[in-house]
Amino acid sequence: MPQLTYPATTLFREVTSQKKEIYYPECDGKRMADNTLQFHWLVTIKENLELLFKNQPDVFVAGDLLWYPVEGQPKIRYAPDVLVVFGRPKGHRGSYLQWKEENVPVQIVFEILSPGNRRQEMEQKFAFYEQYGVEEYYIYNPQRHKLQVWLRQQGQLRELGQLNTWVSPRLGIRFELVGTELQVYHPTGEQFYSYVELAEQRYREQAVSEAELIFAESRIESAETRAEQEWQRAEQERHDKEMAQQRMALLEAKLRELGLDPTKI
């Protein structure tokens, strides 16, 4: 029986078609937070950063999102508590696949510690962030009220030591450790608010805006009413003048019928 042969291109297509598409999970099976305090700080930092960059379409902020820096390596990944990427558009993502983001790495990372975090885990995260291009790395321990900051210098993340006050070079936000409390401020000096406080502030601003709008509309209506009244008065005066002129014309005509000259009376 003659042996069948296949062109090289056909064989390549068959081999290629047998390759399975690589799956990049959008969940690592871990909880976003272990307790309410950790969750509070995660949400507070993420939402305030969203607010800070709301008018900048090329700044992407996310919380608990898996970052895959290397195509074809789904096991190389971590999900920072909060991440910021400059140079990428806002929008929903199931994960941050760096090769689909013009290969722009995550530049800012926040990790909020909980009692469940282990030293080995944090060391692995640090090595990951250092290797794949993070420029500013923040770890806050709300139980111990401790803030640690690393900056990329000469290709490595270097810790800045004990800080009581610090301003982020990229974000412009200010951190202050006051007693047993961390306070974070916008570049404008306004303090970071919790989600509930942000909602209340927006409600107050909306109420003020609505009150100002109602006041402005009331003033416009009053001005329109006054203008209408002035027009009506002018119209009435014009009408009265026309009627007076008509009566005068009738009177003059009657006098002339009687043989009298109105101009001499």
**Domain residue spans of the chain:** 21-192, 201-264
pLDDT of amino acid 161: 81
One DSSP character per residue, 65-85 reads --EE-STT-TTS-B--SEEEE
Q: Using the Cα atoms of residue 63, residue 60, residue 83 and residue 80 in order, give the sign of their dihedral.
A: positive
| Per-position DSSP letters for 91-118, written without gaps between them | ---SSEEGGGTTTPPP-EEEEE--TT--
Q: Considering the domain 21-192 in this protein, what is its CATH number?
A: 3.90.1570.20
Identify the bridge partners of residue 176 per DSSP, sorted by sequence position: 165, 183
Whole-model pTM above 0.75?
no
* pLDDT by 10-residue block (mean), the chain, 265 residues: 50 51 89 86 94 96 97 96 97 97 98 88 96 97 92 95 89 91 92 77 67 67 74 76 77 75 69
The residues that bridge with 108 in the sheet, in sequence order, are 84, 136
